[in-house]
Amino acid sequence: LVLGLYFSNVLGYNEWKESNKAIAIATAFQNTEVADALNGIDDWTTSVEQNDEGLWTVYFLNGDTTVAQVQVDMSAEEVVDYTIGD
């Protein structure tokens, strides 16, 4: 009788999501234009959303103002589109 299975090297959903958010932010920040747009802004923050197509959208914010919006393809870990400013 098997009561349950445990896989020690498999991330839980919340850990997986937080890990992917961090990867999406790092990938988006590697874009030169995005990094340049954030240059000189000391208190920028991020917001990250996942869509149904495997893309993650990273919003770089300065207060309520969107400094940059970046679409990241997580399967390839690459930027597929970005917008600077609102």
Question: Does this model's pTM top 0.85?
Answer: no
d(CA 82, CA 72): 9
Count of CB atoms situated within 10 Å of the CB of 36: 11
* C-alpha distances out from residue 32 to 3, 19, 70, 82, Å: 51, 23, 12, 11
User: How far does Cα 78 stand from its chain's mean position?
Assistant: 11
Please give the chain's pLDDT, 86 residues, in tens.
667 666 677 778 788 888 899 999 999 999 999 999 999 999 999 999 998 788 999 999 999 999 999 999 998 989 999 999 86
Residue 38: Cβ-neighbour burial (10 angstroms; 0-12, 13-18, 19+): middle
